[in-house]
A and B are shown apart, each in its own frame.
Chain A
């Protein structure tokens, strides 16, 4: 298992001087992903924060070839590129790199098509649970109760379970990870790289301006999401679902999930659940949803 210290020594393909906000989870997610994939990688990026983070043309802060594409087309453009790579006999990783809006919502059809066809694409969603590049609007990945600029009193629905949608496609590899654990991101990307066919990784990406927390707390929230069961670390591989890290410890009965309030309280997107009046109805529903979702995963998993 790689350590964070090992990661620091590896070649950086996301360069300094990129246009990310302070504390941006892309800094961790993309940097680690490119360390795992190396230079023989071609990126396909739809409209998302990475469109901005890469910097203003003609310069660029990403050292692998990259095609910026339309919102709903990360998977479909990558499908074409994968076909071309096969024709050319090129040994490259075709990486579709998209946010949750481009993945859970507008890009879902193209992802389903590419997954069903088994196109040789590694699709990574860095998931900050909203449309952040357009200014914090609700997406299918936004959790219940979260404030966004299109859900001022809190979202009234739970997030969509994209990982399960991909598992239902029976693709070779599906994983969920979190910016709180760069070593876990690295190992999962590395494993996905060695597989053929359509592979999907969902990286939970706590966003300081979007989730409303100080920019030095990105990693802490990325860990708390896991420790509370709000997000799960898992891999679906060769038809089997397995947990990793803290999630695995909970599944094995060695740890318990912390109360979700510990995670929610640190983010002002949930502040209205605590003040001026405590919203026990919503807090209990989130806690219930975490339990129910974990039980669902447990019922499918090999422990």
Chain B
């Protein structure tokens, strides 16, 4: 039971297995749908003697993040998981994790923020935390959920980075959907060495973390975080390469491209919609349209260079986003926009809001929108289905 093996289980179980295989020592969490089964399973691992760790069953998500900040600051690998309103409650402490350079890892079951009461998928919860200095990945299937969690620990704890990492998996589409995935078991040790913190709270070598600093010194600290996040692009690519070799996977890097080599039109998305877009790509290709798909695996750091490179030669990009920055555009659109400006590139872009509030997104929906976009029949900022509202 300890080596590599394929199991059929949910995305939430994939997170729990990854946390177990990463030999995380402190877990603090609070229940919220659809995250809860992650910590239920971890509690089971610990109580049934399959995992040597301490679990703190805190009284709120704010305390969950605070508690793992405390344990990580003591030099112990730590984890939490949450969703939606729980993540929003944690918001303040997410800054403490990143600014104190504590490489904790958290799984976020992306769920709609209320009101209305809605437990289904939406990226908006995590998007509200994109500017804090957390590495952010978005998984498209349960294998990625498992793998990205391990890769996140490896990258977050890397001494060139030392930033926390968030693994996003969409509510129910992944959290509660079973599919086969391979877990690495004890072989994980070779990939993920024991946690060796760059700083910790130790009476034998006392330091003070986070007292009053001058504006100028604070600015230097932020710059250092900026540099580390920029560096993370390279370190993530390295970590993925080594993961591929060790565990026989074939991840491309911070993005995944599909049939982009000769594409005239590109679909740009993330998570499960990004994977569904590959099916749509095949259908559109059958109809003679040279479409390709770019899926963002790591949204922070934003893989600007990779995306620009693959979009070179494309005449139109259609972005599919499961969240919107109300009053502006979608968040991927904003980051693509800054990428194009920085690279002095111009592109015809459609930003499509789809799957918001957990509405199902099928390849047919994507095919329909892409065809319209190619014909030029689509508003630049388009809410899918809004014609009838």
Mark A residues whose CB is within 8 Å of B: 39-42, 44, 51-52, 54-58, 60, 62-70, 72-73, 75-88, 90, 92, 109-110, 112-113, 116-117, 119
Instruction: State which of B53, B62, B201 has its C-beta within 8 Å of the C-beta of A76.
Output: B62
> Which one of B65-73, B134-142, B181-189, B366-374 contacts A?
B65-73
The residues of B that contact A44 with a CB separation of less than 8 Å are 70
Query: Considering the complex, which residues of chain B in the window 240-267 have a beta carbon less than 8 Å from any beta carbon of chain A?
Result: none
Closest to A19 in B: B212
Q: Which of A62, A64, A81 has the most CB of B within 10 A?
A: A81
How many chain B residues touch A (CB < 8 A): the figure is: 42
Whether B207 is near chain A, meaning CB under 8 Å from some CB there, is: yes
What's the least CB distance linking A58 to chain B, in Å?
8
Assembled-state Cα–Cα distance A172/B74 (Å) = 25
What's the least CB distance linking B4 to chain A, in Å?
27
The residues of B that contact A86 with a CB separation of less than 8 Å are 54
What's the least CB distance linking A266 to chain B, in Å?
32
Mark B residues whose CB is within 8 Å of A: 25-26, 28, 53-54, 56-60, 62-63, 66-76, 78, 92-93, 96, 100, 201-203, 205-214, 217
Given A80-B68, A83-B26: A88 and B76 interface contact (C-beta under 8 Å): yes
What's the least CB distance linking A133 to chain B, in Å?
11
Closest to A63 in B: B206
The residues of B that contact A42 with a CB separation of less than 8 Å are 74, 201, 203
Closest to B214 in A: A56
Q: How many A-B residue pairs have CB under 8 A?
A: 159
The residues of B that contact A78 with a CB separation of less than 8 Å are 70
Given A54-B208, A65-B207, A76-B67: A88 and B74 interface contact (C-beta under 8 Å): yes
Is the CB–CB distance between B202 and A69 below 8 Å?
A: no
The residues of B that contact A57 with a CB separation of less than 8 Å are 208, 210-213, 217
Q: Which of A67, A81, A119 has the most CB of B within 10 A?
A: A67
Is the CB–CB distance between B60 and A113 below 8 Å?
A: yes
Is the CB–CB distance between B202 and A60 below 8 Å?
A: no
What's the least CB distance linking B349 to chain A, in Å?
39
Instruction: State which of A58, A70, A79, A81 has its C-beta within 8 Å of the C-beta of B201.
Output: A81
Is the CB–CB distance between B209 and A68 below 8 Å?
A: yes
Q: List 19 A-B contacts (CB under 8 A).
A: A39-B206, A41-B203, A55-B211, A67-B208, A67-B210, A76-B66, A78-B70, A79-B66, A80-B70, A80-B78, A81-B71, A83-B56, A84-B76, A86-B54, A87-B26, A87-B54, A88-B75, A88-B76, A90-B74
Q: Which of A65, A112, A113 has the most CB of B within 10 A?
A: A65
The residues of A that contact B202 with a CB separation of less than 8 Å are 65
Is the CB–CB distance between A77 and B69 below 8 Å?
A: yes
The residues of A that contact B206 with a CB separation of less than 8 Å are 39, 63-66
Is the CB–CB distance between B69 and A69 below 8 Å?
A: yes
What's the least CB distance linking B92 to chain A, in Å?
5
Assembled-state Cα–Cα distance A186/B103 (Å) = 37
Is the CB–CB distance between A65 and B57 below 8 Å?
A: no
